[in-house]
Amino acid sequence: MDPRAFEDLVFALVRAEHPSAIQLRPPDAGRDTIVPAAGDRRERAWQAKHHTSGIKWSDCEASLKTAVESRDPEEVTFVFPLDLTEGKEEGLKELRGLYAEDKVRVADPWFAATLRETLLANPDIREAHIDRVLSLGEGYAHEMFRRDASLSERWSQQTAAALEGPLAAYGQQERLQDAEQAVDDGDHARASVLYEQIADALTELTPGIADAMALLAARAAAEAGDRPRAGGLYLRVSRSAAARGDSLAEYAAFRASWLLEERERWRSQAATARAAWPELPDGSIEQLIEAFERCLAKGDGDGIAEWADAACEALAAQGDWGRVADIAGRAAEALGPVTEQGPRLEIELERRDALAETGGEFQDAYRQLTLAPVGRSAHGPRIHARWAAALARTGRGPEAAERFRVAADGWQARGGAEDEIAEAVLSEDVVARQYGAGRRLGQPEVVAVSELRGRDITPTVLADRRETAGCGPGLRTAVTRHAAR
Amino acid sequence: MTVSWSIHRRAGHLAGALRLAEDLQRLFAAAEDPEQELVWALRTGFAQTARKAAGAVAWPDVLARLRPDGPP
């Protein structure tokens, strides 16, 4: 967004609150948007300062002086596209000290956080000034409008969860109080059931908090002496946390190993291996395969899906596509057709990627999957993106670019997952650079696309979190510096 | 970071997976672990880097990482 577009955005936001607001163009005497004097109120002014690399108070001071000398406003509000940092507070104090408050009042500036909040309250302005600038298109805007009610509700819930606490926002506060009371009364069995009910209610909405509740349920079950139940609950947490790449997976698996009976302990060992393979592939992967073979021998469908999925992920990371093909193939045969997302779908996708990586024909297999009910569901765009990545890996540039575009369109129609649109667009750019096919982005477009953020917890969000956890800014700098030497 | 790469890969994020693979290749180069550096250099498509890393790895270990039937 350039300075002019930023001024337009500020004007739109001011006018939403003050319909009499008018926008001025240079020379504007230090004001971009004003609400004219009316009744006993003097003119009020908003100055959009498109400072992107830190607030320049000297520039604000010059604008304030010009405004006071030329138009004598009652109040001036400065608007910045970034947040105030600790070292910059002094500049605001000094600015306010320039004039007595009855001469001109320097209102609390609007920072990035204020803008975000105001944009949330004004979706039409966001659509016109942010989304359209990013070329998200009329169709997308229409689709967003259609879904607005449900998305707004979810957004409000997430905001309320942050402000009031998630359990109150999701209507679980009373049950939590009952569970805590049961703990105080020494009725740990009842507490465990109540905590688990809360976890069940929150699994889809906020899996991290659901896991925290399931941990409390497990602890209460252990207190009640119900070790199998406690072990099972810890395994549930480990499974759920592993799906998000959360380090809680290893802790929960470790706790389970203390509680499960000897004959069931392989489950906790496999869960530990699932959490540990990225750091310790040797040994962990064999343990995952052993868990898969054990479930296959027993005909345990859920176990086959769970451990084949985990083993394939770890083997793929090692580049052992031969074994991925073998395990995914046998698991698929035992489990039957894919009917829903989850481990079963992951296995199918790994099977197709294994075909691609080992020089087999994978296109028909991917095509069939996109035509199946699961391919036409909300998970369709991810299947197209996987297909596209396989096409790119096998040197089919034009087809890959086209497929990434199908994935981006799918995410766009689904809504709430702008991060995934960004990843698909950036991936098409990679293909364009490598193969000369598809849309190539310029630097400003790369920045705009990279900043797209949606409302859902998408794989991009999870990956970013794990990347941040695994490679802090300091480490990244050190690596880059080392590489440059 | 391997988990992050894996999430990107499984989501079909070619760009994200390549970016992470590049970071990991640099990380293992800095850690002077040529075997892992080779793995990630192959994934990023850095042929020169892969060749250099392979020079510091025993041939059977290099062979285990190569897939003549795989994509280019």
Q: Quote the pLDDT of residue A162.
A: 57
Checking if the pLDDT of A377 tops 80, the result is: yes
Domain spans in chain B, listed from the N-terminal domain onward:
2-65
Q: Which residues of B touch A395 (CB under 8 A)?
A: 71-72
Residue with the two structure tokens 């698996």: A253
Q: Which whole number is the average pLDDT over A39-59?
A: 87
Q: Which whole number is the average pLDDT over A69-93?
A: 85
Asked if the Cβ–Cβ distance from B5 to A317 is below 8 Å, we say yes
Distance from CA of A248 to the nearest CA of B (A): 14
Q: Is the model more confident about B68 or about A137?
A: B68
Which residues, in sequence order, are CB contacts of A55 under 8 Å at separation 6+?
A49, A80, A82, A84, A88, A91
Residues 29-58 of B with CB under 8 A from A: 29-30, 39, 42-43
Q: Which whole number is the average pLDDT over A368-379?
A: 86
Checking if the pLDDT of A137 tops 60, the result is: no
Question: What size, in residues, is chain A?
Answer: 485
Asked if the Cβ–Cβ distance from B10 to A346 is below 8 Å, we say yes
Q: Which residues of B touch A430 (CB under 8 A)?
A: 14-15, 18
Calculate the average pLDDT of chain A: 83
Distance from CA of B55 to the nearest CA of A (A): 18
Q: Which whole number is the average pLDDT over B52-58?
A: 85
Q: Quote the pLDDT of residue A135.
A: 44
Checking if the pLDDT of A209 tops 50, the result is: yes
Q: Which residues of B touch A458 (CB under 8 A)?
A: 11
Edge-to-edge strands, sheet with A75-79: A22-23, A33-35, A44-48, A75-79, A105-106
Q: Which whole number is the average pLDDT over A84-103?
A: 85
Asked if the Cβ–Cβ distance from B12 to A462 is below 8 Å, we say no
Residue with the two structure tokens 């995934």: A420
Q: Quote the pLDDT of residue A477.
A: 55
Lowest mean pLDDT among A195-199, A286-290, B7-11, B44-48: B44-48
Checking if the pLDDT of A478 tops 60, the result is: no
Percent of the residues in chain A that have a pLDDT greater than 70, as a whole number: 83
Q: Is the model more confident about B31 or about A288?
A: A288
Q: Quote the pLDDT of residue A418.
A: 81
Residues 310-329 of A with CB under 8 A from B: 313, 316-317, 319, 321
- Answer whether B3 touches A (CB < 8 Å): yes
Q: Quote the pLDDT of residue A149.
A: 44
Cα separation, A90 vs A122, in Å, equals 31
Q: Which whole number is the average pLDDT over A381-394?
A: 94
Q: Quote the pLDDT of residue A146.
A: 47
Q: Quote the pLDDT of residue A142.
A: 46
Q: Is the model more confident about A51 or about A326?
A: A326
**Measured between CB atoms, which of B1, B9, B67 is closest to A470?**
B1
Q: Quote the pLDDT of residue A144.
A: 45
Residues 337-396 of A with CB under 8 A from B: 346, 349, 356-359, 382-389, 392-395
Kindly indicate the confidence band of residue A337, based on its pLDDT and cuts at 50, 70 and 90.
confident
Asked if the Cβ–Cβ distance from B1 to A482 is below 8 Å, we say no
What is the β-pairing status of strands A75-79 and A22-23? unpaired
Q: Quote the pLDDT of residue B52.
A: 87
Kindly indicate the confidence band of residue B4, based on its pLDDT and cuts at 50, 70 and 90.
confident
- CATH architecture of the domain A3-121 equals 3-Layer(aba) Sandwich (3.40)
Lowest mean pLDDT among A81-90, A125-134, A248-257: A125-134
Checking if the pLDDT of A435 tops 70, the result is: yes
pLDDT tens for A300-333 read: 999 999 999 999 999 999 888 999 999 999 999 9
Q: Is the model more confident about A52 or about A90?
A: A90
Which among B34, B49, B12, B24 has a CA at the least distance from the CA of A352? B12
Task: Supply the pTM of this predicted model.
Answer: 0.62
Q: Quote the pLDDT of residue A214.
A: 92
**Measured between CB atoms, which of B7, B12, B70 is closest to A407?**
B12
Q: Return the amino acid letter for A314.
A: A
Cα separation, A430 vs A331, in Å, equals 33
Asked if the Cβ–Cβ distance from B9 to A478 is below 8 Å, we say no
Q: Quote the pLDDT of residue A197.
A: 94
ipTM metric: 0.85
Whether residue A257 contacts residue A269, with contact meaning beta carbons closer than 8 Å, is answered with yes
Q: Which whole number is the average pLDDT over A76-97?
A: 84
Whether residue A141 contacts residue A127, with contact meaning beta carbons closer than 8 Å, is answered with yes
Kindly indicate the confidence band of residue A136, based on its pLDDT and cuts at 50, 70 and 90.
very low
Asked if the Cβ–Cβ distance from A466 to B15 is below 8 Å, we say no
SS (H, E, C) A31-81: CCEEECCECCECCEEEEECCCCCCCCHHHHHHHHHHHHHHHCCCEEEEECC
First to last CA, chain B: 25
Checking if the pLDDT of A141 tops 50, the result is: no
Checking if the pLDDT of A14 tops 80, the result is: yes
- Helix/strand/coil for B20: helix
